[in-house]
Amino acid sequence: MIYKLKGVLLEAKNSGLVRANEQFMEWLLAEKSLPFGEDGEHITIRLIDFDQPENNHYVMSQQLLSLV
């Protein structure tokens, strides 16, 4: 899943920053799924727990290192 999200960010070079931002927002709002279930069944990916916000942990940083 991390590789898929990284791909969305890297795609900004080709599809434009606005489209990449829209795609990342879809991930944040749990509108995307990946075939992680039985027999390749698509499972919704939830990056943020909106039902129990106390389960989320955030880290703030001014720098991001990407080994692309």
Residue linked to tokens 């720098």: 63
pLDDT band at 51 (very low <50, low <70, confident <90, very high): very high
Please give the average per-residue pLDDT across 14-43, as a whole number: 85
Q: pTM here? A: 0.59
Give the residue from 48, 56, 59, 53 showing the smallest Cα distance to 24. 48
pLDDT score of 8: 65
In the chain, where the domains are located: 2-55
Structure tokens at 34: 């990946």
What is the structure's pLDDT at 56?
Answer: 94
Give the confidence band of 68 by pLDDT, cuts at 50, 70, 90: low
| pLDDT above 90: percentage of residues in the chain | 18
